[in-house]
Amino acid sequence: MVALSAGAETPVVRDVETASLDLRFRVRGPIAPGPEIALVLVDDRSLAALGRWPFSRRLLAAAIRKLDAAGAQTVVFDLLLAEPEQPITGEMRAAALGAVARLRHSGNVPAEIERGLSSIAADDPDGDLARAIEDSKRVLLPYAFAFQDGAADAPPSLGSAAYRRFERSPEAPIFPLRPASVVAPLASFAAASAGLGHVNIAFDRDGAPRYDYVALPFEADFYPSLPVRAVARQLGVPWSDVGLAPGLGVTIGKLFVPTDRAMRLLINYRGPRGTFPTYSFVDLIEGHVPDAALRDKLVLVGAAAIGVNDTFRNPFGSAPIPGVERMADIVDTMLRGDFIERPDWLGVVEAGAVLLLAAATGAASALLPTVGAALAAIAPMILWAALAQLAFQRGIWLSLLTPESSMAAALVAILAFRYWVVDRDGREIKSAFRHYLAPELVNALASHPNRLRLGGETRPMTVLFCDIRNFTALSEGMPPEALVQVMNRFLTPATDAVMRHRGTVDKYIGDCVMAFWNAPLDDGEHARHACATARDLLGDVERLGAELAAEFNLSRFEIGIGINTGPCLVGNLGSAQRFEYSVLGDTVNVASRLEAITKVYGVPLLAGDATRAETADLPWLAIDEVPVRGRNAPVRMHTLWLGEPAIHSQLDAHHEAILAARREGRLADLPALIEPAAALAGPRFERLYRELAQRRDRRASA
């Protein structure tokens, strides 16, 4: 923030900041000006009707008399009347009058000579205008300062135009512009006017006239702008009561006009061209403007015809506005008192506010995940932009670029810190598990790495093995390229099924997939999710078998699935050179044995007793009890009934009876018990029942 603030007045920053100020005008939209102001413009229609520009001073005098008759309170000409209209000097007119007098005295005066000399003597449009100005006593005229080298002496007529009263100011003024000379109206006009004011324009770096210099130094005096004189005249404040506080502002009666230290007033533009009531000069001359439209008004007279170089940019679009309408914006800003200020202390407040927001953003980034931290960092930027717009509409110019740049820099720093420091563990976890876990589980694990114990732990888990049947025979009859395609076609949906049901793919063992549940994240439904995965696998293989039969002429494509539930050791297992996240334990061994023995019993799925107990509502069927190497007690095996649900309960009863007979050694009863079960199950378990009948006197070993 400090570094950016130091460059706040650099050209690029200044240009962007002032562009943002223009944008704030457009966001705010036009506002209605007060009722005191009316414009009279010399437009293209006036030129077409009244002749070339500049108009004769007699037309200007006629306009003043029309405005007086309509009851205008203040008349402001935005026209420099610094040169006489004609080259006929007063001496020439005096000589012509003398010649007429002498000719008349001689008694021999040709009529055409007398008329010509009288016409020369009477041709005084400047005098006509001066008389109209003096008679009106409400006309204000402009003068302009020049800043190139030249004579610096002020004309005598300018002496009364300077500020006469000064007030104390705690700020030392800064005057970057020092006039070298002045272009003043003709002395007769200046003496007849109700007051004079300068019309110099304060252009910003980008050429936009955003300010009005309410005071400029010249010689030993300070001179007001024409809008200041106009406001004082309209408010009825004598010029002697207008006070200048250098570096602070101007007091006009009860009205205080604040400025910056360079005595600049920021213009609160009202809207685009045409915001103020505007009338054509020719309509005024011809009497087409109602008196009510001008009565008690402050009337600004200026030019806006094509070819008259007196138009300027304004914030409301690309269409320029006439200089006289810009002056109306200044006058209305003063009359309404809705100034836009940027006090010197505001920079300190902005810096403090941005530092507080940055601190709050930093605190939020430490407590929130990365996305939340990014949103927490963006929110203050949006908040500041909204606050800047609200402050603007309340008359305060809050900086936008520097605070927003500071907060953007803070956002980049926060995201970099999160990426390189805070989220590093999360990325490592994602890298380790992204091939084995569903994406949402990987994200959850990365967001809460404390839920992962990589050192190893014992916990209840469900383990699944899935193997392609007769893979050796299948691989011998296929070219390697086709075999790779078949493997990929199987392993991809198998992995998707595991991840879809919140499982972890442990490894691929040739044609076998090993997966487990309830690690690294807790899963209270691990047995159920493993069974749901098995069902999806069986459905996928049935569809895949039909596709492979058509593509590779495979007669059969089957899998065997073994599922078991129980305690397992899970964690980083391996050597110092290489390790992987995996599981060990008797539960794993039994799941592997169950998968292997599915081919003996001719069923696609076998699960242990604990898995059935965890999912008792599923349509389980008891198959057999088999001895397992290393165990004293046999393992009871179950399979899922995937046929007609209505017959499951009957079939389950038959299977329990078959299993009881085998357990109790009543082998002679098996045929009678198998026959009704086979009738109910149909061809689905044909191989199972044949195997059970053939093994009346022995049991399969796991």
pLDDT (average), residues 658-662: 90
Does residue 71 surpass a pLDDT of 90?
A: yes
Contacts 24+ apart (CB under 8 A), 536-539: 536/497, 536/500, 536/501, 537/466, 537/493, 537/494, 537/497, 537/561, 538/604, 538/605, 538/642
Strand partners, 39: 278, 300
Task: Let me know the angle formed at the C-alpha of 609 by 615 and 525, rounded to the nearest 5 degrees.
Answer: 30
CA separation (Å) from 23 to 30, 274, 312, 604?
12, 20, 17, 71
Which residue has better confidence, 358 or 493?
A: 493
Q: Kindly indicate the confidence band of residue 632, based on its pLDDT and cuts at 50, 70 and 90.
A: confident
Three-state SS for 516?
Answer: strand
Does residue 115 surpass a pLDDT of 60?
A: no
pLDDT for residue 13 = 80
Q: Poorest-confidence range of 104-113, 136-145, 381-390, 637-646? A: 104-113
Tokens found for residue 80: 């420099």
pLDDT (average), residues 392-405: 87
pLDDT tens, residue by residue, 195-233: 999 999 888 888 889 999 999 999 889 999 999 999 999
Cβ atoms of 433 and 379 within 8 Å: the answer is no
264-266/512-517 β-pairing: unpaired
Does residue 137 surpass a pLDDT of 70?
A: yes
Phi, psi of 344 (to 5 degrees): -65, -30
Secondary structure letter of residue 35 according to DSSP = T
Q: Kindly indicate the confidence band of residue 54, based on its pLDDT and cuts at 50, 70 and 90.
A: confident
Does residue 408 surpass a pLDDT of 70?
A: yes
pLDDT for residue 697 = 45
The 3-state DSSP composition of the chain as helix, strand, coil percent (nearest 5) reads 50, 20, 30
pLDDT tens, residue by residue, 435-485: 555 566 566 656 656 555 555 789 999 999 999 988 877 777 778 888 888
pLDDT (average), residues 379-386: 86
Which residue has better confidence, 696 or 663?
A: 663
Query: Where would I find the H helices in 501-608?
Result: 526-552, 586-601
Q: Kindly indicate the confidence band of residue 121, based on its pLDDT and cuts at 50, 70 and 90.
A: low
Which residue has better confidence, 218 or 106?
A: 218
pLDDT for residue 5 = 46
Which residue has better confidence, 591 or 702?
A: 591
pLDDT for residue 149 = 65
- For the ranges 132-136, 155-159, 415-419, the maximum mean pLDDT occurs at 132-136
Q: Kindly indicate the confidence band of residue 326, based on its pLDDT and cuts at 50, 70 and 90.
A: very high
Three-state SS for 617?
Answer: coil
pLDDT tens, residue by residue, 533-567: 999 999 999 888 888 888 887 777 889 999 999 99
pLDDT for residue 483 = 86
Which residue has better confidence, 626 or 501?
A: 501
Which residue reads 């699935």 in tokens? 561
The rounded percent of the chain whose pLDDT value lies above 70 is: 83
* Nearest of 218, 210, 241, 219 to residue 228 by alpha carbon: 241
Cβ atoms of 538 and 584 within 8 Å: the answer is no
Strand partners, 245: 249
User: Which residues, including other chains, have CB under 8 Å from residue 144's CB and lie 6 or more apart?
Assistant: 80, 182, 183, 198, 199, 200
Average pLDDT, the chain: 84
pLDDT for residue 67 = 97
Does residue 104 surpass a pLDDT of 70?
A: no
Tokens found for residue 145: 């300062």
pLDDT for residue 248 = 92
- Residue type at position 371: V
Q: Poorest-confidence range of 247-251, 264-268, 659-663? A: 659-663
Q: Kindly indicate the confidence band of residue 120, based on its pLDDT and cuts at 50, 70 and 90.
A: low
Does residue 6 surpass a pLDDT of 50?
A: no
What HEC string does 96-152 produce? HHHHHHHHHHHCCCCHHHHHHHHHHHHCCHHHHHHHHHHHHCCEEEEEEEECCCCCC
Tokens found for residue 330: 């200044």
Secondary structure letter of residue 172 according to DSSP = P
pLDDT for residue 4 = 41
pLDDT tens, residue by residue, 573-596: 766 556 677 899 999 999 999 999
pTM assigned to the model: 0.62
pLDDT for residue 2 = 45
Q: Let me know if 446 is exposed, middle or buried by CB neighbors in 10 A (0-12, 13-18, 19+).
A: buried
pLDDT for residue 302 = 93
Distance (Å, rounded) from C-alpha 395 to C-alpha 403?
19
Q: Kindly indicate the confidence band of residue 603, based on its pLDDT and cuts at 50, 70 and 90.
A: very high
Does residue 290 surpass a pLDDT of 90?
A: yes
Q: Computed from CA positions of residues 561, 562, 565, 567, in that sequence, does the dihedral angle turn out positive or negative?
A: negative
Distance (Å, rounded) from C-alpha 479 to C-alpha 496?
26
* Nearest of 671, 526, 655, 653 to residue 591 by alpha carbon: 526
pLDDT (average), residues 597-603: 92
